[in-house]
Amino acid sequence: MGLFDSIRSVLGISAEADATRDADPEDLFGMSTAYLTMEADLGYDSVGAAALCFSSVDSTDFERTVEEVEAILGAGEEETGTTFEVREDSHGWEWVVLRDDDPEDLVTSVHFAADEFIERGYGSRLLVAVFGFEKDGQRAYWVYSFRRGAYYPFAPKRGKEQNERVLMKLESVLDGELELEPDKEYWYPMWPDRPGGHPWE
């Protein structure tokens, strides 16, 4: 089993077994104020994108659910200008990728998509929601784990290492504002397909 298969297994089966509480899509709205804190207190701007990651099911009903998610987001695009695409990465994960310069619209759209999966009975297929930030060329992300019902930071560096200083800073500033994952063994890095890409790329 490769590295990404291991991460996928832990994000899925293991995290579900070790869940501390049920995931609540309303938790996603905590990111609305977190965007403000990231900018005002830490100097991080939104990268203008966020994404919802899920594992697919080979069934017609699930395909209809994804189509319904696309229809909802398509209707929202006319109102908010939030564009989207659904894509599969090289590790077999599916992503709903959203782009908008308004962070509030990103949060709302991610919530709409996640809520539709849950309403259609596929909440267990949701893995994470990822929100991206950037400061002086340094990217940082907040990851919401649906299997753990909590957020954790991700701060990649070159060579598939994390910036521990940034991780500690994000944790200290946002603890209390976001429901943080207390067990750092569940702070899984979401490495991108390509160097310098986002986790959903």
| pLDDT given for residue 170 in this prediction | 98
The reply to whether 198 falls in a domain is no
The reply to whether 200 falls in a domain is no
The reply to whether 18 falls in a domain is yes
Q: In the beta sheet, which residues pair with residue 98?
A: 50, 84
The reply to whether 196 falls in a domain is no
> Which of 141, 154, 186 minimizes the C-alpha distance to 23?
186
| pLDDT given for residue 17 in this prediction | 45
The reply to whether 28 falls in a domain is yes
The reply to whether 31 falls in a domain is yes
Q: Residue 85's domain is classified under what CATH number?
A: 3.30.70.1130
When divided into structural domains, the chain yields a total of 1
The half-sphere exposure of 42 on its side-chain side, counting CA atoms within 13 A, is 25
Three-point CA angle 52, 126, 22, nearest 5°: 120
**What domain range is 123 assigned to?**
3-186
Distance separating alpha carbons of residues 14 and 8, to the nearest angstrom: 9
The reply to whether 195 falls in a domain is no
Distance separating alpha carbons of residues 15 and 186, to the nearest angstrom: 8
Tens-digit pLDDT profile for the chain (201 aa)? 343 444 444 454 444 444 444 567 899 999 999 999 999 999 999 999 999 999 988 999 999 999 999 999 999 888 889 999 999 988 888 999 999 999 999 999 999 999 999 999 999 999 999 999 999 999 999 999 998 999 999 999 877 899 999 999 999 999 999 999 999 999 999 998 888 899 998
The reply to whether 94 falls in a domain is yes
Average pLDDT, the chain: 88
